[in-house]
Amino acid sequence: MNFALQTAIDALSVGSIYALSALGIGLLFGIMRLINFAQSEFVTIGIYILMLSAGVWFPLAALAAICVVVVLALVVERMAFRPIRTADPATLLVTSFAVSYLLQYSLVLIFGARPIGLDILPELARPIVMGSVRVPRIDIATIGATIVLLSAFALFLRKTRIGIEMRAAAVDFRMARLLGIRANRVIAVAFAMSGLLAAVVAILFAARTGVAAPTIGLELALVGFVATVIGGMGSLVGAVFGGLAVGVVTVLLQAFLPPELRAYREAFVYIVVIAVLVLRPQGLFRGAAARERV
């Protein structure tokens, strides 16, 4: 019973981080049909901002990370993606890779390629003891922050004007524009929200790992992309559930695989992913059927 509870909390914690990563990627794909691999660098830069803010009151350091990443996302949208918005998907994809590598190697030039240790809220590493179960506070904080953020995100999309415009744009952007929705504003808000999600992931991941490295966000972006595909391209609900599913499978495999096979855990995860896609090529949830981009 105690082992099951411990495993369930670990699975929800890891799945929560993956869900937020997938949501940031799925949000942009839903509106622009763009797979933004630079999302990984948004996370990485958020972690480096936290490192540079060491010694500062944590809420201010977290706010600084969020502001920098959101502004960076808006700059990337304005400088890199807006001029080629009507280009073919291959051009958008290549641009996404180019921005990702530009940001990554800029970090290498500034900070070097070696990982750097950082200590974000060390008290979160202390466990909460419930009988014989020891739950790290970072797991509770991660699950709680994800629930709050996803709830706020859902309310934003359903109750605000710009949120409703974003939902309409994700279904049929051409019709939405004919009805008076401003493309530049909707896409800029989508990039800003993806930056916000990346910054929150950076804070949670930095508190969990205590490491800053130029490629640290790459795994999260890759898992986020896989989770988006599993959930259903274009479906935000699917992206969240896909992220949770990947996190749960990862932790369960770590817990139940024989010790000699745990080094190959990721291979087993992707076997499960392939099996899901063979059974449901469209993903767990159907996204918007519209293929048009802006």
What tens digit of pLDDT does each residue of 59-118 get? 999 999 999 999 999 999 999 998 988 788 788 889 999 999 999 999 999 999 999 988
Question: Tell me, what's the pLDDT at 75?
Answer: 96
| DSSP string computed for the chain | -HHHHHHHHHHHHHHHHHHHHHHHHHHHHHHH----TTHHHHHHHHHHHHHHTTTS-HHHHHHHHHHHHHHHHHHHIIIIIGGGTTS-HHHHHHHHHHHHHHHHHHHHHHH-SS-EE--S-GGGGSEEEETTEEEEHHHHHHHHHHHHHHHHHHHHHHHSHHHHHHHHHHH-HHHHHHTT--HHHHHHHHHHHHHHHHHHHHHHHHHHH-EE-TTTTHHHHHHHHHHHHHH-TT-HHHHHHHHHHHHHHHHHHHHHS-GGGGGGHHHHHHHHHHHHHHH-TT-SS---------
Question: Tell me, what's the pLDDT at 1?
Answer: 55
Where do the domains of the chain lie, and which CATH numbers do they carry?
Answer: 2-126+135-279 (1.10.3470)
Question: Tell me, what's the pLDDT at 40?
Answer: 92
Question: Tell me, what's the pLDDT at 288?
Answer: 54
Structure pTM?
Answer: 0.90
Extract the residue ranges of the chain whose pLDDT is less than 70: 1, 286-294
